[in-house]
Structure 1
Amino acid sequence: MQVDDLPACESITRAAYFEVDRATFQRSWPDPEPRSEAGRTDWLAKSRHKLATDPGGCWVAEEDGVVVGLATSLRRELMWILCSFAVAPEAQGRGLGTLLLEAATRYGAGCLRGMFVASQDQGALHRYRKAGFDLHPQMVLWGPVSRQVLPVVPHVREGTAADRELCDSLDRRTRGAAHGADHALLAEQFRLIVMDHSTGQGYAYVSRSGGVQCLAADSRKAARELLWESLAASDPATPVEIPRVTSANQWALDVATAARLGIHTRNFLATRHLKPPAPYIPHSTFL
């Protein structure tokens, strides 16, 4: 993959992921929409970051000089992460997906563990299972948050670049590998909040609309407090979304119940030689 391939890759993933969302969304949710212009900008920034840190893990498939599929992956210490994987609809059924996944998987040779978020696309799920990945159903917590249910959260503060070592330490304790260079980009796209106290340690990246996009903590208590703080950043008139919660993280369901959020199943966490991390909520791309 080259930088010049990124606009075509963004277009393929935007269309492919939207089709899966349309086929699988809950009827009680708002209708899914294609990736927004802001989302497109974020996707391109993440992809340029991946090309800079892990060029050997980023692949495209071409037919007659046109990009028709892609797979991007990262190595973080001894963890392999599949970030993006899609084939244009008109090019499916020709074995390109298998070839792309094999190329990305070879980049993880020597890694002890693997992890990524999988959509509910049935063909892809079968391919991942054949490749030796365990599939763990994920949940999304969704709904408006009343100010009346928000507790007072002590010991949570704004994070800075000086907290990167703490964040990496928590990453290793929960998921077995640090995010490393990914923290710089995450901090550009989200608000970082941190707990570093005798009662617990943790961090969370909070999205613009509230709710976490990545969270790691050394205890369920610290994780709950960080999640509550992220909910406080939401607009009470606008539903907040906390995706990618596995059953290993029941503490997040306790917060959802207290906040009166809906609990729905959506997508899977695919892991190899790794139990679902906890207390932990992975990022969609960098996990």
Structure 2
Amino acid sequence: MGDLRIRPMTPADVADAERVSDEGFYELDMRTRRGSWPEPQRRTDPHREAWMARTRHLVGTDPRGCWVAEDGTGVVGIATSFRRESLWGLATYAVLPGRQGQGIGKPLLAAALAHGSGCVRGMLSASADPRAVRIYHQAGFELHPQLFLTGAVDRTTIPAVAKVREGSASDIDLMDSLDRGLRGAGHGPDHELMLSTWRLLVSDTSTGSGYAYLDEGGRLALLAASNRRTATRLLWTVLADGPAETSIGHVTGANQWVLDVGLAARLRLDQEGYLGLRGMKPPAPYVHHGALL
């Protein structure tokens, strides 16, 4: 432990950071898996590439928000974070299995938190790891349980939906405006990354506006809207256009409209992890992304 060093992450560290993250979260999934849940899987190559692309993006936009912990064995812990206007967000935080509980995590998170100095709001999506949850609570984050829905969509339940179109970079101002009203800050430069890899749906009418990103597998990645009716319209469109087996993650209790849709579509409801917040209430109607929030 005497040679432990906390230093800024560089692009050259991203592959090692991915390894630490993959090993850390796989071990956590194995340790916390419930009997009815699928067997945890390691990241696929496409998922690994997407993770590294996002991390390279954050190292580029927020070099003082991305950190590694290393010792004589190499990189043993990572934290990536970002500032978007008045909001600080934690994207990833992991310590290698076997190295947890050795005083690595706290200074690593402290370095990332320092990047948010002066931000009036904070967000993070926490796993169910009791050690990490304790650290977040001690750092002043209120913890809100996250629900998720999974299963095969009953397509006979999907209503006819109109007033939803394909989105593009021309919608960034609209999306940032919605995000400022919901979470106090736009996603700003993150839209360039999301638009390069995900599909964007937009609904913009006289009665409300909203958007939804669909990830590489056609599942919901992020959704924001000015009212529940618009959010519901977008979510039904995501389910209609998505795969037969789907999931909707990161649902807080403030977003009961997601349960209205998901349960009507015959998806199963469960709970895992927490949305950690400082200086703000759970955004609604809003479904956050696990890393870009």
TM-score (normalizing by structure 1): 0.97
Return structure 1 stretches of 4+ with deviation > 4 angstroms.
Answer: none
Q: Secondary structure at the match of 1:38?
A: helix
Give 3-state SS (helix, strand or coil) of 1:89's partner.
Answer: coil
The one-letter code matched in structure 2 to 1:175 is R
Residue in structure 1 matched with residue 109 of structure 2 by the alignment: 101
Partner secondary structure for residue 34 of structure 1: coil
SS of the residue corresponding to residue 152 of structure 1 reads: coil
Q: Could you tell me how far apart the structure 1 residues matched to 2:103 and 2:53 are? A: 29
> What does residue 68 of structure 1 align with?
76
Equivalent of 1:91 in 91, 99, 102: 99
Q: Residue by residue, what CA displacement relative to the aligned partner does 1:145-198 show, whole Å, maximum 9, x if unpaired?
A: 122111111100000110000010111111110000001111122110000011
CA RMSD of aligned residues (A): 1.1
Q: Give the drift of 1:28.
A: 2.6
| Separation in structure 2 between the aligned mates of residue 10 and residue 156 of structure 1, nearest angstrom | 36
| C-alpha spacing 1:77/1:30, structure 2 compared with 1 (3 Å) | same
- Give the number of equivalent residue pairs: 285
Q: Deviations over 1:15-56 (max 9, x none)?
A: 111111222234333212111111100000000000110001
Aligned equivalent of 2:33: 25
Q: Which residue is equivalent to 2:286?
A: 280
Shift in Å, 1:81: 0.3
Q: Distance in 2 between matches of 1:200 and 1:211?
A: 23
Query: Which ranges in structure 1 are unaligned for 5 or more consecutive residues?
Result: none
Tell me the distance in 2 between the aligned counterparts of 1:192 and 1:5.
Answer: 30
Q: 1:1-287 counterparts in 2 under 5 A?
A: 1-64=9-72, 66-236=74-244, 239-287=245-293
Task: Please give the alpha-carbon distance, in whole angstroms, between the structure 2 residues aligned to 1:210 and 1:229.
Answer: 11
Aligned residue identity for 1:242: I
| Separation in 2, partners of 1:257, 1:271 | 27
Q: Is the 8 A contact 2:219 2:243 kept in 1?
A: no
Residue 257 of structure 1 deviates from its aligned partner by: 1.6
Which residues of structure 2 form unaligned runs of 5+?
A: 1-8
Identity over aligned pairs, percent:
48
CA contact (8 A) 2:147 2:271 kept: yes
Structure-1 separation of matches of 2:83 and 2:18 = 21
Under a length normalisation based on structure 2, what TM-score does the superposition of the two structures give?
A: 0.95
